[in-house]
Structure 1
Amino acid sequence: MTDQRADRSTPFDASGDALSDVLELIRLRGDDLAVVRSGDRFEARHHTGERMLHIVEQGPVQLDVEGEGELPRLERGDLVLLATGATHRMRVPDGGAWMSGRFLVEENTAAPLLAVLPPAVVIRGSDEGLEWLPLTAGVLAAESAEPTAGSRAMVSRLLDLLFILALRTWAELDDAPHPGWLTAALDRQLGPALTAMHRHPERPWTVEALAARASLSRAAFAARFVRLVGEPPARHLARLRLARAADLLATTSDPVGAVGRTVGFTSEAAFSRAFAREHGTPPREWRAAGTPFPSV
């Protein structure tokens, strides 16, 4: 006899999850974790390119980000995500403790995507509705204090989880979030269209086709896209294609013409011109020089 209760199950549908697609694209991975317990007048410095997350166990801790001046001090339970890799330091006048997690990404694709975020995303542990923060931090601390079989994998996945939750929380708490892919990825209407573009940048997307995925008129879609993403759909698609091309140039030996066709260009000449306009160097020279991917 068939159990009719099984018919009530709802399959997990993440077909329009643009945020997950972007995180997969940049190959986000929690790398390692360090616990800092400091004495008086101690400071820890982190250089440009280190994509970090810090959770305060004992405060106060002063966070200084290069170019941002002195930010409000961090208290026990607070989390700060520095996804752009900004140079910063953590310092305490009277001793403190915090956990520091590091992230690895595919820099060719991550640099322009993460550059839309502020240098420091601060999540206050005292805010309401953040039960996930002390819970996840507690598990992370336990794995760090007594590592056992599987601890390295658990720490990596917990750091990934905290990265995602911090982005979600920042976007929801900020009354005027910065335009960019994150704002659009969390938007119910733009999410499916952004997902389609990120999954298949090589396709000849039109504004009409993307608007249909968002269930909006062409004009309403175009206006909403510019407001939330910060640039028109065609410009965003071009940047996605060239970011994917840079990744392929850096990680494969495919001919330049084949790379261009893979990301949606109909000719090698058109691809080379577009790549040079975006990055200042034709793709052959960029590959030969091992040019680092520029932030935008």
Structure 2
Amino acid sequence: MPPAPENFADSPPDALSDLLQAVHLRGGEITRSVADRPRRDRHPAGRRMLHIVEHGAVRLEFRGSDPVDLGSGDMALLARGDAHVVRAADAGWMTGGFVVDHPVADPLLTVLPAAIVIRADSPGVPWLTMGLRLMLDEFTDPRPGSRVMLSRLLDLLFIRALRVWAAAGQQSRPGWLTAAMDPAVGPVLSAIHRDPTRDWSVDDLAALASLSRSAFATRFAALLGQPPVAYVHRQRLDRAAHLLASTTESVARIATRVGYTSDAAFSRAFTRAYGESPRTWRKTAQPPP
């Protein structure tokens, strides 16, 4: 019999996909700029965007960071939303914005640099030239579906830039995004998030990462800033907090659902993490992301 066709939908989820879904990333407005004389555009903080140069030279200036010079075909992703100035003369470039859920995105994307720069002549990035060409085509000659096409193109460029950043080994600060991009720890995070109530042992998680127990524990702590077991416990409590704020289930029932066999143990752990007992916290809480 011929082998059954592969279905991508059946592949296991990855942590980066989980993250992008959590922040509700989607491409937004696109503008096209041309400077035939010296020009300076200011962009305030809080707007996540990318710039791709069509022709000429463009400089991005940041407060407290070195400027970034872009040439023809180069792209800079400003995923943190840092305030910056675009300086150009005799140049053309496209700017795309992104819409995210800020309360969720802000802490996750803070590990990134002010700008992730992708050079057009870098090896392994033919997608950048293709993306610019497709954006220009849909922008200059809009047809039915162009708005959605441009939004999807921005999403793809965002994700590709994150991959390049991770592959270059430029992560310098612990955080969920840094760990999600790690080939060993990323699948472990997905497994924990899918089933935080499971009695995960360090050995179980190390096996998922295909690492020894000690190597895994060291790598996990370096990327997340906390030991694996502490991370699992926090995920359980965050799940409990969401249930407390979004359902009317009893505290005892929620404690059982998130893996605690004792109400008292759950109450103590929750109070240490959130500063209030589950019942007190529930009265004024909003569901955490």
Q: When the two structures are superposed, what TM-score results if normalisation uses the length of structure 2?
A: 0.80
1:36 matched residue in structure 2:
33
Equivalent residue for 2:155? 160
Q: 2:124 aligns with which of 113, 124, 129?
A: 129
1:17 matched to which residue of 2? Answer: 14
| Structure with larger Rg | 2
Unaligned runs of 5+ in 2: none
Q: Distance in 1 between matches of 2:236 and 2:56?
A: 44
The equivalent of 1:57 in structure 2 is 54
> Counterpart of 1:34 in 2: which secondary structure?
strand
1:139 to 134, 141, 156: 134
2:73 corresponds to: 77
Q: Does 1:47 align with 2:44?
A: yes
The alignment covers a number of residue pairs equal to 278
- The AA in structure 2 aligned to 1:221 is F
1:87 correspondence with 2:86:
no
Structure-2 separation of matches of 1:239 and 1:42:
49
Give a deviation string over 1:156-177, Cα, whole Å, max 9, x none: 1111100010011112134665
The TM-score, its normalising length taken from structure 1, stands at 0.78
Which fold has the larger relative contact order, with Cα–Cα distance below 8 Å and residues 6 or more apart in sequence? 1
What fraction of aligned residue pairs are identical, expressed as a percent? Answer: 45
- Aligned residue runs from structure 1 range 102-251, under 5 A: 102-174=97-169, 178-201=173-196, 203-237=198-232
CA distance in 2, matches of 1:167, 1:142: 24
Match of 1:119, SS?
A: coil
Q: Compared with structure 1, are the counterparts of its residues 174 and 270 closer, same or farther at alpha carbon in structure 2 (3 Å cutoff)?
A: closer
RMSD value over aligned CA atoms? 3.4
Structure 1 letter corresponding to 2:41: A
CA 1:84–1:257 in structure 2 vs 1: closer, same or farther (change >3 Å)? farther
Provide the C-alpha distance between the structure 2 equivalents of 1:208 and 1:272, rounded to a whole number of angstroms: 28
Which consecutive unaligned segments of at least 5 residues does structure 1 have?
A: none
Equivalent in the alignment of 1:275:
274
The Cα of 1:77 is off from its aligned counterpart by 0.7
**Greater Cα offset, 160-169 or 183-192:** 183-192
Question: What is the one-letter code of the residue matched to 1:226?
Answer: A
Given that residues 56 and 78 in structure 1 are in contact (C-alpha distance below 8 angstroms), is that contact kept between their aligned partners in structure 2? Answer: yes
Quick one: distance in 1 between partners of 2:239 and 2:153? 28
